[in-house]
């Protein structure tokens, strides 16, 4: 599976592993193997650890708590106390351990360590005033707006940004033809 990392925050990219939540709700992490692939692609650790069914379930529960809390915060609402408590509890665990090996630094750790890293990234995102929802049609991704003018509207230009600009162009072109 191909995963995208557009949010500028590991936890927000993890939450985006369900695409178009309000419409088709495309699940990109259907099982522990897909989660292991996501973990490897995220570079949270050099090699994904084995993930049990129970660990997979905890990861999905954390993902959903992160999404609900971040969505609430990005839309000016107060996140649910239960979601914040879950994020804080997971963040309290040790994170992956960096090691210098063969001219590179590599991170190693269990899935619980990876989830702690993700939860700490969620804490950072929730505390960041630049947290935004994508304005793309049917997109439910959240991102950190690191643009110079803090005016980013889409999770990424390839995809939501391109579709929005193309739709604007088509509307402009159609109205121009009507006025001729």
The predicted-structure confidence for 91-148, as pLDDT tens digits, reads as follows: 999 999 999 998 999 999 999 999 999 999 999 999 999 999 998 878 889 999 988 8
- Whether 5 is in a domain gets the answer no
DSSP-derived letter for residue 82 is H
* Residue 2: inside a domain: no
pTM: 0.86
In a domain, 3, yes or no: no
Residue 81: its pLDDT value, please? 98
User: Taking the C-alpha atoms of 18, 20, 23 and 27 in order, what is their torsion angle to the nearest 10 degrees?
Assistant: -20
Domain of 29 in residue numbering reads as 10-178
Residue 147 falls inside a structural domain: yes
The rounded distance, in Å, linking the Cα atoms of 162 and 134 is 13
Asked if 54 and 62 touch (Cβ cutoff 8 Å), the reply is no
Q: Is residue 108 part of a domain?
A: yes
The residue ranking higher by pLDDT, 28 or 167, is 28
Judge contact between 87 and 61, C-beta under 8 A: no
CATH at 170: 1.10.3300.10
- Provide the pLDDT confidence category of residue 76 given band limits of 50, 70 and 90: very high
Quote the distance between the C-alpha of residue 172 and its chain's center. Answer: 33
In a domain, 87, yes or no: yes
Q: With pLDDT > 70 as the criterion, what percentage of the chain qualifies?
A: 87
Q: What's the total number of domains in the chain?
A: 1
């Amino acid at each position: 599976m191909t995963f995208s990392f557009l949010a500028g925050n590991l936890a927000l990219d993890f939450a985006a592993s369900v695409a178009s939540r309000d419409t088709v709700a495309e699940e990109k992490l259907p099982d522990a193997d897909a989660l292991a692939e996501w973990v490897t692609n995220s570079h949270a650790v050099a090699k994904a650890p084995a993930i049990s069914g129970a660990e997979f379930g905890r990861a999905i529960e954390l993902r959903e708590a992160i999404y609900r809390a971040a969505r609430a915060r990005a839309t000016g609402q107060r996140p649910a106390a239960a979601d914040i408590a879950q994020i804080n509890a997971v963040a309290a665990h040790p994170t992956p351990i960096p090691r210098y090996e063969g001219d590179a630094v590599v991170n190693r750790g269990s899935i619980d360590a990876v989830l702690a890293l993700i939860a700490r990234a969620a804490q950072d995102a929730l505390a960041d005033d630049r947290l935004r929802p994508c304005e793309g049609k049917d997109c439910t991704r959240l991102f950190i707006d690191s643009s110079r003018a803090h005016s980013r509207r889409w999770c990424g230009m390839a995809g939501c940004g391109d579709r929005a600009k193309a739709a604007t162009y088509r509307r402009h072109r159609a109205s121009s033809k009507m006025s001729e």
